[in-house]
A = this chain, B = another copy of it.
């Protein structure tokens, strides 16, 4: 278990080889240039199919590729969504012709005001809040949907409390697939509505998210033809996060930034941005250069940050207690890989309090006009802390990722903001406020 294994899985992907191929009954080309599912622990390869754990060692499986030559021009000539990178994803070459939500290619905003507030000389915000259902989950779900189609799944499903539920319900509706979304029954009504609007098969489960997740795994094991995006098609799903890395590089003019700050829930997004950067270097699409990757957590759920600071390799699971609910995974599956990447690239993993998360939300909104959810507030606040503690170089070009939209976590700031004044409807009353 080391960074080396991660890198190796990328290196092998550019070699042309005859790999295990696709599972029986799956059409040729169903997964594009993907070659196999590769165990991140033992390197065992299995055929492309609905597998997620290594049959040899139970390690996590990741998509490996045989990439052909890919040029910037081919990518730039593609659609203005994640499918411009289809040659680098486990999807067929005609993917954009199947109904999907067409996510991605979101704004990369030069954030001068926020940079000045944080003391960073060159800062960018990659803003995924403008995706179809307002979070980065539309990227990963689009890749999972393609896999579900190619594997001839009859049901598209997930357990979730928020962004993922929205993304799955919307993508399933657009694809015309039967879609079932499992939520904890005590989820707030507005969050239920955000998903129920897209599907008549929302299932409320008595218990917490862990209970819902366990039920999903049981159904995935018992039922034929169910594609749970984050369970049995997870290897394909997770690849969608690579597009964040590709877009950052392309939107910077085909080059890598010096530093990236990424929120950590399962840790998958962070590892995939790193994988994307490595692939771009291997393919000659960007120049090789050193870059540092930083992880951001809320300290009510900071198992990775805790391990990073303690200098240990093992993640000790925690019981989450933070307003950053979309980051509240107490036992993050990719936590150990996050540690590896942060250490190997010279980055770090840091955490902040819930109050700092709220401050981060308001700082981003008031400096750049971007209303982020609690995960984004965490990233902004961690970035500030990284500068203050000397872990992040304020003179180096930095990109932070905003993963989602503040409209979905309004409660986090609703007690913090409001009218500066309440006045009668007259000019003299207005003058009296001193705002003029």
Q: Chain A: residues with CB nearer than 8 A to chain B?
A: 80-81, 99, 101-102, 105, 107, 109-110, 112-113, 127, 130-134, 169-174, 176, 180, 183, 185, 189-190, 192-194, 196-207, 211-212, 214-215, 218-219, 222-223, 361-362, 365-371, 405-408, 410, 413-414, 417-427, 430, 433, 435-436
Q: A423 and B193 in contact (CB under 8 A), knowing A170-B369, A170-B370?
A: no
Which residue of chain B has the shortest Cβ distance to A436 in the bound complex? B223
Q: A203 and B132 in contact (CB under 8 A), knowing A190-B414, A366-B173, A369-B171?
A: no
Question: Would B113 and A420 count as touching, CB distance under 8 A?
Answer: no
Question: Would B371 and A185 count as touching, CB distance under 8 A?
Answer: no
Question: Would B206 and A369 count as touching, CB distance under 8 A?
Answer: no
CA distance A430 to B214 in the complex (A): 12
CA distance A425 to B133 in the complex (A): 27
CA distance A133 to B369 in the complex (A): 9
Which residue of chain B has the shortest Cβ distance to A192 in the bound complex? B418
Question: Would A193 and B430 count as touching, CB distance under 8 A?
Answer: no
CA distance A367 to B101 in the complex (A): 12
A-B contact pairs, 5 of them (CB 8 A): A99-B110, A170-B369, A174-B368, A185-B419, A185-B422
Most buried by B among A105, A198, A408, A419: A419
Question: Would A131 and B130 count as touching, CB distance under 8 A?
Answer: yes
CA distance A430 to B80 in the complex (A): 40
Known: A133-B369, A170-B365, A174-B370. 18 other contacts (CB 8 A): A81-B107, A127-B132, A130-B131, A134-B134, A170-B371, A174-B368, A180-B435, A185-B422, A194-B371, A197-B365, A197-B366, A202-B420, A203-B422, A204-B419, A205-B425, A207-B425, A214-B425, A219-B427
Q: A197 and B406 in contact (CB under 8 A), knowing A215-B430, A425-B206, A425-B215?
A: yes
CA distance A397 to B223 in the complex (A): 42
CA distance A171 to B113 in the complex (A): 13
For A132, the chain B residues whose CB sits under 8 A away are 107, 127, 130, 369-370
CA distance A113 to B100 in the complex (A): 12
**Top 5 closest pairs, chain A to chain B, by CB:** A170-B369, A174-B369, A196-B417, A204-B419, A211-B425
Question: Would B99 and A107 count as touching, CB distance under 8 A?
Answer: no
For A436, the chain B residues whose CB sits under 8 A away are 219, 223
Question: Would B413 and A193 count as touching, CB distance under 8 A?
Answer: yes
Least Cβ distance of A345 to chain B in Å? 29
Question: Would A200 and B80 count as touching, CB distance under 8 A?
Answer: no
CA distance A173 to B417 in the complex (A): 15
For A212, the chain B residues whose CB sits under 8 A away are 425
Least Cβ distance of A118 to chain B in Å? 15
Taking a contact as CB atoms closer than 8 A, the residue among B80, B113, B185 that contacts A80 in the complex is B80
Least Cβ distance of A363 to chain B in Å? 11
For A204, the chain B residues whose CB sits under 8 A away are 419, 421-423
